Structure 1
Amino acid sequence: MPAFSYACVIPPIMSKREPAIYKVIFLNQGQVFEMYAKQIYQSDLWGFLEIEEFVFGERSQLVVDPSEEKLKSQFEGVIRSFVPMHSIVRIDEVERLGTAKISEAKGGGNVMPFPMPMPEK
């Protein structure tokens, strides 16, 4: 009598998932940067995140966003950026690429940075 098995083979679902795109919001010199990248990870430099493969929207001949163009020119030739962890506001994995932009950081908060000791001269 042959052995009977209830086991069945379920073929794996091969999804053709697009590579992840991350929206990174961080503070830099009183400005809020909202950028998109494909690679984000903790750096070997303690306290920093590495952001690689910046992604900018396709250039359309009808509409040109000046803030995105400014960011694109500012990060032209940049392979990797090291951003301090305390400057990161938020990181989201998004389905679609949005518009990269720079805006002024709004004050009004009551959070103050911890005072640093004065350097010795």
Structure 2
Amino acid sequence: MSKPLYKVTFLNHGRVYELYARRVGSSALWGFTEVAELVFDVRDGVLVDPTEERLRDEFGDTRALHLPMQSVVRIEEVEKKGAAAIRDAVTGETVVTPFPLPAKPRS
């Protein structure tokens, strides 16, 4: 039997983060939720998700996150991993923009 997978949505500096983790529970720190064993996509191909890369850069070496309970929006147990996201808390728009494509030459 495989470990459960959780989608954790929380607020951080005016942004909504969506991460995936294998372990979620009460923290030893009073008033905090512990999120550990973060799951990131491991891709060796040409296609790179900039949001996933940014999250991996920020949280890649993290053993456990201790999130204040009031910042946690939702914790869902899911069957499979979806796309991680960073969104603006007010508008809901994605914060990380994709790599810009070359502009069309002007005629």
TM-score normalised by L of structure 2? 0.80
Match of 2:56 in 1: 72
Task: Letter of the 1:37 partner, please give it.
Answer: A
1:96 aligns with 2:96: no
Distance in 1 between residues matched to 2:79 and 2:42, nearest whole Å: 16
Matched residue SS, 2:52: helix
Offset of 1:86 from its aligned partner?
Answer: 0.3
Q: CA RMSD in A?
A: 1.2
Match of 2:20 in 1: 36
TM-score normalised by L of structure 1? 0.71
Match of 1:23 in 2: 7
Matched residue SS, 2:61: coil
Offset of 1:62 from its aligned partner?
Answer: 3.3
Greater fraction strand: 2
Offset of 1:59 from its aligned partner?
Answer: 1.4
Identity of aligned residues (%): 45
1:84 aligns with 2:68: yes
Match of 1:56 in 2: 40
Report which of the two structures shows the higher radius of gyration computed on alpha carbons.
Answer: 1
Gaps of 5+ in 1: 1-16, 108-121
Match of 1:7 in 2: none
Contact 1:56 1:99 in 2 (8 A): no
How many residue pairs match? The answer is 91
Task: Letter of the 1:99 partner, please give it.
Answer: A
